[in-house]
Each structure stands twice: as structure tokens, then as C-alpha cells.
């Protein structure tokens, strides 16, 4: 039986501040010192996610992406969706093609679908939830309802790309069927079991390697205790 949806564990108070008019791309970020008050760690954590959500809500702001893209003092928030198909226990694995906008990650494999949170994402609901919904609709075709459960926070300082981003890892499970990649000119995707995708491990982005290890260690068992569950509508 699928768990009963829980409400978003983020207070509906004042949202993040805008630094300026949205002229180019503004992205949601938090000061590194507030998200890591005791110093940064490496990898994924599953404890204290409620505090993380409260901190993001209380201290986040929108800043021009071009100005902070190489500034690790500000962590750009990335809702990161890992797709699990319960009916056959497979996961969506994608590979970035040449036309992908992130040139630093071309041809690497990824277990996650996600992107930055923009100002429009927070107009109707919590910005993290709004960003997750938009990225899902833009990148994935899914004919069935799906449920996204926050299971971890991810930090990785091993590369210039990863050290300026903070991942909120959601395990997304469609009610039935298999999802497809929408932007086939930028991504190619296939559904594989964890055992089958192990051969791609060394060609995965660093975030995906961390997520793969976490899935093998039992990330699915944390879905029922997730502090943030988002129901995603099927494609019209």
C-alpha cells in the first residue's frame, strides 16, 4: 500500500528574498555557513532533513547565477529526482549529450533529474517544491501520477561543478509504468536495475556515484519517514 501523503514540512511564512529583478537567470541559494554551521561534510545525510528545510526557507535568496556560479560560499539549491520504478525495481539512468547546457558534464551518466530553483517556482507554493515540479515536467514524460519523497541531502566538494551546489535528493516513484526522457536531444535514458547499471559506475557524475552507493545501502527504506512528500500529476 502506498503511504498517505504528508504535508510539506516547511512553514508558509515569508519566502526567499529576491536580490534584483529577474533579468537573466536568478537561482535560489543559501549561505554555506548557515547550511553547514559545524563545517561541511562529504556525501549524503538522511538525518536532520527537517532542519535543512527550515534553514533553506529562512535564509535562502535569489541571486544571479552568473555571479555565483563559481562561489562556494553560496550553495545553489538543486532538487534532485532519482526515479525508481517499483513494478520492476529499476531506476532511470541518463547520459548527457553534446547539446546539454552543462558542458562540464557531457557524456557522463546520471541517476538524477534536477536543476536550479528560479523565482517563479515560489509564486504558488514552496520554492523547492515548485522547482521540483517544474523540472519534472520539463525533463520527464510520465503517464501516471508519481510521488517524490525527500530521502537525503547531498554535498560534494570534489569538483568545481558540485562544490557550488547542494542537492536535495528525492526518490520519485510512478504509480505504474516507466518514465521517459523528454529532451532527447540533450539526454538519453534507459531503465536499469542497480546491478545492471554498476558497469557504468566509473562513468557517472560524482553525485550519481554517491546516490548509487546510497541506494545500494537502502535509501528506499527511508521513504516512509520522509519529511517532505510531493505528489506529481501525470502528463496531460
Residue 99 banded pLDDT, cuts 50, 70, 90? low
Average pLDDT over every residue of 194-211: 95
The structural domains of the chain, with segments of one domain joined by +, span 25-232
β-bridge mates for residue 169, sequence order: 80, 152
* Tens-digit pLDDT profile for residues 36-73: 999 889 999 999 999 999 999 999 999 999 999 999 99
User: Considering only 59-68, 102-111, 115-124, 155-164, which range has the smallest mean pLDDT?
Assistant: 102-111
Position 56 scores a pLDDT of 95
What cell numbers appear for 147 in the block?
510521488
Q: How far is CA 130 from the centre of its chain?
A: 12
Average pLDDT over every residue of 205-213: 94
Position 15 scores a pLDDT of 44
Q: Which CATH class is domain 25-232?
A: alpha beta
| Pairwise CA distance, residues 70 & 132, whole Å | 23
Pairing mode of beta strands 229-232, 146-155: antiparallel
Overall residue count recorded for the chain in this entry: 236
Percent pLDDT > 70 in the chain is 86
Query: Smallest Cα–Cα separation from 63: which of 110, 106, 98, 20?
Result: 20
Mean per-residue pLDDT of the chain:
87
Percent pLDDT > 90 in the chain is 74
3-state class (DSSP) for residue 10 = coil
Q: Please say whether the beta carbons of 31 and 63 come within 8 A.
A: no
Position 97 scores a pLDDT of 75
Residue 127: DSSP 8-state: H
Q: What contacts 213, CB < 8 A, 6 or more positions away? A: none
DSSP string, 165-233: EEEEEEEEEESSS--EES-TTTEEEEEE-HHHHGGGGGGB-HHHHHHHHHHHTTGGGGGGG-S-EEEEP
Q: Please say whether the beta carbons of 143 and 234 come within 8 A.
A: yes
Query: Smallest Cα–Cα separation from 168: which of 16, 9, 86, 45?
Result: 45
| 107 pLDDT above the threshold of 90 | no
Position 22 scores a pLDDT of 37
The pTM of this model reads 0.87
Burial of 134 (0-12, 13-18, 19+ CB in 10 A): middle
| 82 pLDDT above the threshold of 50 | yes
| 108 pLDDT above the threshold of 90 | no
Position 162 scores a pLDDT of 86
Amino acid at each position: 500500500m502506498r503511504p498517505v501523503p504528508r504535508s510539506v514540512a516547511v512553514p508558509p511564512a515569508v519566502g526567499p528574498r529576491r536580490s534584483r529583478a529577474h533579468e537573466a537567470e536568478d537561482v535560489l541559494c543559501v549561505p554555506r555557513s548557515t547550511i553547514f554551521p559545524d563545517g561541511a561534510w562529504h556525501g549524503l545525510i538522511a538525518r536532520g532533513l527537517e532542519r535543512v528545510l527550515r534553514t533553506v526557507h529562512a535564509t535562502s535568496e535569489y541571486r544571479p547565477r552568473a555571479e555565483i556560479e563559481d562561489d562556494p560560499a553560496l550553495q545553489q539549491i538543486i532538487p534532485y529526482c532519482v526515479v525508481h520504478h517499483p513494478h520492476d525495481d529499476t531506476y532511470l539512468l541518463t547520459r548527457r549529450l553534446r547539446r546539454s547546457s552543462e558542458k562540464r558534464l557531457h557524456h557522463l551518466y546520471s541517476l538524477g533529474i534536477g536543476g536550479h530553483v528560479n523565482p517563479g517556482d515560489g509564486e504558488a507554493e514552496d520554492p523547492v517544491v515548485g522547482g521540483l515540479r517544474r523540472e519534472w515536467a520539463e525533463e520527464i514524460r510520465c503517464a501516471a501520477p508519481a510521488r517524490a519523497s525527500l530521502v537525503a541531502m547531498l554535498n560534494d566538494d570534489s569538483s568545481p561543478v558540485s562544490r557550488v551546489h547542494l542537492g536535495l535528493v528525492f526518490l520519485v516513484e510512478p504509480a505504474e509504468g516507466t518514465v521517459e526522457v523528454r529532451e532527447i536531444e540533450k539526454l538519453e535514458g534507459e531503465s536499469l536495475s542497480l546491478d545492471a547499471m554498476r558497469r557504468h559506475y566509473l562513468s557517472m557524475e560524482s553525485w550519481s556515484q554517491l546516490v548509487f552507493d546510497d541506494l545500494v545501502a537502502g535509501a528506499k527504506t527511508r521513504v516512509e519517514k520522509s519529511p517532505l512528500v510531493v505528489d506529481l500529476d501525470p502528463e496531460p
